[in-house]
Amino acid sequence: MTPRLSAHGVVKRFPGVLALDGVDLDIRGGEVVAVVGENGAGKSTLMKILAGVLTPDAGELRLDGAPLLLPDVRAADRAGIALIHQELNLADNLDLAGNLHLGREPRRGPRGLGWIDRSRLERDSRDLLRRVGLDLPPTTLTAELSIGQRQMLEIARALGRSARFLILDEPTSSLSAAETERLLGLIAELRAEGTGIVYISHRLGEITRIADRVVVLRDGARTAELSGGEIERGRMVREMVGRELESLDSCERALGEVRLEIRGLPMAPEAPVLDLDVRSGEIVGLAGLVGSGRSELLGAIFGVAPRSHGRVRVDAREIPPGSPPASVAAGLGLVPEERGRQGLVLEGTIHENLALPGWRRTSRRGWVRSDEARANSRSVVRSLDIRPGDATRAAGTLSGGNQQKVALGKWLPLEPVVLLLDEPTRGVDVGARLEIHRRLQELASAGLAILFASSEMEEVLGLSDRVLVLHEGRIAGELPRERLSEEAVLSLATGSEAAP
Amino acid sequence: MRKALGAAGLLVGAGLAIAIASPHFMTAFNLENLLRRSSLFGILGIGATFVIVTGGIDLSIGSIVCLVGVLTPWLLVEQGVDPWIGVLGLLGVSLLLGTLHGVLITRLRLQPFLVTLCGLLVYRGLARGITGDQTQGFVGGFRGLRQLGNGRIPIPGIEGFTIPVPFLVLVVVAIGAALLLGRTVWGRYLLAIGRNETAVRYSGIDADRVKILAYTLCGFLSGLGGLLFTLDVGSAQPVDFGNFYELYAIAAAVIGGCSLRGGEGTILGVLLGAAVMQVLQNGITLIDAIPNNVEFAVIGTVILIGVVTDESVRRVIARRRPEGRGSIP
């Protein structure tokens, strides 16, 4: 009999929010069910309930028809359900074998002594690693793995616990194109072996490729279930947002003088150097695979990453290497890749975050002028439509999209002349993404020079006036708006075409 | 603010209990002494607070107290150095030691625990070495200077109770510290660094300079505390002068609401925390039923109960309100 995991009428309340309002979900062995929805739609909550991290307030779970109680993660583990978190939970200091068997190491010797059976550990590990296509010795240190390899390791760990249901939460958000392909391949194999897979992703392109069914959540309720030919991008977006989304109009902007001038900046040690000008009113995109050096480049310009040689000038003013304060003083701002770690003080309030880079400006001889800072924050909250609009809430309690707006909004009171953005909308839902893109266009129209890096093709194509494609630490080519297309970017990014 | 209230509650509760158990507690002489000791430890606690809100720690406080405390009479009495030069020089040294800690921690990326642990060992060793382990004292001299530590200012119209001079020093230090932490750019940066140093750097702020400032202030206030302690007592033994004072200062900060993870803390809270520590110590001395040698055990237990209660209250509140931790106005 095919194993079958189902949830009926699941309700989950958090203080002030009804996260799930009577949701049904049904997963059979040997199929891939995608769950999509905007941030805050309840996807993660539902997955946590299936994995025993949270318990539902009402409704029930069933496994093969029998009621299933999951008071904790161990119970889910015993039932063969494994959740692979967005934030990977691996111990860097252990080797692969150690992580694969963490908590269930094969023992030998007298009971209770806890001697680890090293040879069995490594033998079992080799089998598991082979199954997920990780060609590494089990004694490799986990810290040496790429993010994609870690994801594979997590899946191998779940398989080692004979999981029959795998829940993958945004597994590809930080994977390179090649790693994504490998992961999708592995999912197809696991499906063929009879594993039931729940797949959560903002990347609708992946979903159209691998999902047998798509369940759409909106505001904690299930709004649609699509299968077969219905699984199509426009349809999914419509169901997620609940309305037709207007697309981003490319607007013609008048270009002003050169604001950011980069000369001879190396993309990586020993790599060729980069020359680049970004003009007032211009949005320049940096495309390329993960690991092509985009983040390092933006970091080196801003001063948070090392810069051994090369020059950066903002409005003809030289920026010394390695000094973010000098960059900010010259009119640069950076919205970094990891908003939780680099962009925001999550425990701080929205106001504290919005005011942080601007304290110097909203102070007189070191004494802060709180009223002015608060007024600035209020106007940013209004202009970016940050929700909830109560600036005394902790930034960490906001949805991804609103957190990203705060990470962007903290630069606005400083009126920067050049804004650098690294993955401006990673993990942000469709609606908020469009709002952020619109706002960036408005800022450019008002004269800002914008340089951004993105691994999302749609973003690169929709937002940029000009795209630089990077490949292995060098510029593979430059595409003006007229010649922009997915094929053109991809062929440059994968190195299959020489620079024109 | 809530945690400062907790510390105030603990202070009043402990005070009442001790007042009931011992008739000597509520005497003018005892209260005056208590105020003097609390003020001295309050100064050290404020120094510790600057470092703790950045998520760091300073273990060298007690040894800087010893260094300054022992070398002040040694320079003035044994070496005959001019009091102005001696005192200002030693305060300058303590300030520079703090700066040194900050520089080692930020530029060489060493751990605060390690750097200041080495400081703890080095400065006490130096103090003992320089003085040949001999007790240093003012032998009845320098009465004017010693007023800074043991002076008393009568309150017009009130008989019997006088204000100890260290209390006035503390008031000046505390007002300065509270303004720095609450009203200046530096204060905002100190607290933000304790919560997420990376995000502060990515906001274009020179986080290293802010941290060096914190250790510098802590070093200076440790030195100031050491000076006042030695002026108050009149003599200092290199072996144990200032022993464990860093732990008293850290405990005062924690009772007063500082989180050792950083990002949280108020000056008012630390002052109350320092007072709680002194009242407990005083109570153990005064109440005959409690033998003096269990002092550490009693203080440790009370602090533990305090933080456990606080943590439980915090969890209950967090479950009800998803708001920011200690929002800054």
Judge whether residue B278 has pLDDT over 60: yes
Residue scoring higher pLDDT (A155 or B218):
B218
Residues of B contacting chain A (CB within 8 angstroms): 183-189, 192, 195-196, 198-206, 263, 319-325, 327-329
The two three-digit tokens of residue A283, written as one number: 């949005």
Is the Cβ pair A325, B188 closer than 8 Å?
no
Mutate to test the interface with A, among B196, B203, B210 (most CBs of A within 10 A): B203
- Residues of A within 8 A of B197 (CB-CB) are none
Which pLDDT band, with edges at 50, 70 and 90, does A396 fall under?
Answer: confident
> Residue A63 contacts by C-beta under 8 Å, 6 or more apart in sequence?
A3, A4, A5, A79
CB B255 within 8 A of CB B272: yes
In this prediction, residues A17-29 reach a mean pLDDT of 89
Place of tokens 């050169």: A258
Judge whether residue A57 has pLDDT over 70: yes
Judge whether residue B247 has pLDDT over 70: yes
DSSP strand pairing (A81-84 vs A165-169):
parallel
Looking at A244-258, A389-403, B141-155, which range is the least confident one?
A244-258
| Nearest CB neighbour to A349, from listed B185, B205, B327 | B327
In this prediction, residues A409-417 reach a mean pLDDT of 96
Angstroms from A51 CA to nearest CA on chain B: 22
Which pLDDT band, with edges at 50, 70 and 90, does A464 fall under?
Answer: very high
Count the residues in chain A.
500
Which pLDDT band, with edges at 50, 70 and 90, does A489 fall under?
Answer: confident
Judge whether residue A180 has pLDDT over 60: yes
Angstroms from A391 CA to nearest CA on chain B: 10
Judge whether residue B11 has pLDDT over 60: yes
Mutate to test the interface with B, among A295, A345, A377 (most CBs of B within 10 A): A345
CA distance B182 to B328: 8
Read off the amino acid at residue B315: R
Judge whether residue A22 has pLDDT over 60: yes
The pLDDT value recorded for residue B1 is 65
DSSP strand pairing (A367-368 vs A363-364):
antiparallel
DSSP conformational letter for B108: S
Mutate to test the interface with A, among B196, B202, B319 (most CBs of A within 10 A): B202
Judge whether residue A249 has pLDDT over 80: no
CA distance A353 to A412: 12
In this prediction, residues B74-83 reach a mean pLDDT of 94
The pLDDT value recorded for residue A500 is 42
In this prediction, residues A267-272 reach a mean pLDDT of 68
Is the Cβ pair B205, A348 closer than 8 Å?
no
DSSP strand pairing (A115-116 vs A165-169):
unpaired
The pLDDT value recorded for residue A86 is 65
Q: Where along chain A do its domains lie?
A: 4-241, 258-493
| Nearest CB neighbour to B322, from listed A357, A367, A397 | A397
CA trace torsion A304, A310, A313, A319 (10° rounding) = 40
CA distance B205 to B212: 13
Task: Pick the residue from chain A with its C-alpha nearest to B319.
Answer: A15
Judge whether residue A311 has pLDDT over 90: yes
Identical fold, A4-241 and A258-493: yes
Task: Pick the residue from chain B with its C-alpha nearest to A339.
Answer: B199
- Residues of A within 8 A of B184 (CB-CB) are 363, 366-368
DSSP strand pairing (A213-218 vs A196-200):
unpaired
Distances (CA, A) of A411 to A281, A321, A419: 17, 20, 8
Residue scoring higher pLDDT (B302 or A261):
A261
Is the Cβ pair B203, A327 closer than 8 Å?
no
Q: Which CATH class name applies to A4-241? A: alpha beta
H, E, C per residue of chain A = CCCEEEEEEEEEEECCEEEEEEEEEEEECCCEEEEECCCCCCHHHHHHHHCCCCCCCEEEEEECCEEECCCCHHHHHHCCEEEECCCCCCCCCCEHHHHHCCCCCCEECCCCCCEECHHHHHHHHHHHHHHCCCCCCCCCEHHHCCHHHHHHHHHHHHHHCCCCEEEEECCCCCCCHHHHHHHHHHHHHHHHCCCEEEEECCCHHHHHHHCCEEEEEECCEEEEEEEHHHCCHHHHHHHHHCCCCCCCCCCCCCCCCEEEEEEEEECCCCCCEEEEEEECCCEEEEECCCCCCHHHHHHHHHCCCCCCCCEEEECCEECCCCCHHHHHHHCEEEECCCHHHHHCCCCCEHHHHHHCCCCCCCEECCEECHHHHHHHHHHHHHHHCCCCCCCCEEHHHCCHHHHHHHHHHCCHHHCCCEEEEECCCCCCCHHHHHHHHHHHHHHHHCCCEEEEECCCHHHHHHHCCEEEEEECCEEEEEEEHHHCCHHHHHHHHCCCCCCC
Residues of A contacting chain B (CB within 8 angstroms): 15-16, 304, 324-325, 327-329, 332-334, 336, 341-352, 355-357, 359-360, 363, 366-368, 370, 392-395, 397, 410
The pLDDT value recorded for residue B328 is 36
In this prediction, residues B272-295 reach a mean pLDDT of 92
The pLDDT value recorded for residue A169 is 87
Averaged confidence pLDDT in chain A: 87
Is the Cβ pair B202, A352 closer than 8 Å?
no
CB A350 within 8 A of CB A406: yes
Residue scoring higher pLDDT (A455 or A99):
A99
Is the Cβ pair A304, B202 closer than 8 Å?
yes
In this prediction, residues B34-58 reach a mean pLDDT of 97
Judge whether residue B60 has pLDDT over 50: yes
Looking at A8-17, A132-141, A235-244, A442-451, which range is the least confident one?
A235-244
The pLDDT value recorded for residue A461 is 87
Read off the amino acid at residue B140: G
ipTM more than 0.90?
no
Angstroms from A445 CA to nearest CA on chain B: 24
Give the pLDDT confidence of A187-217 residue by residue, as tens digits. 999 999 999 999 998 788 889 999 999 999 9
Task: Pick the residue from chain B with its C-alpha nearest to A371.
Answer: B329
The pLDDT value recorded for residue A322 is 92
Burial of A316 (0-12, 13-18, 19+ CB in 10 A): exposed
Judge whether residue A498 has pLDDT over 70: no
Is the Cβ pair A366, B185 closer than 8 Å?
yes
| Nearest CB neighbour to A393, from listed B188, B203, B323 | B323
What are the two backbone dihedrals, phi and then psi, of residue A334, each rounded to the nearest 5 degrees? -125, 125
The pLDDT value recorded for residue A250 is 62
CATH code of B2-20+38-315, in short, is 1.10.3470
CATH code of A258-493, in short, is 3.40.50.300
- Residues of B within 8 A of A393 (CB-CB) are 322-324
Of B261, B325, B264, which Cα lies nearest the Cα of B55? Answer: B261
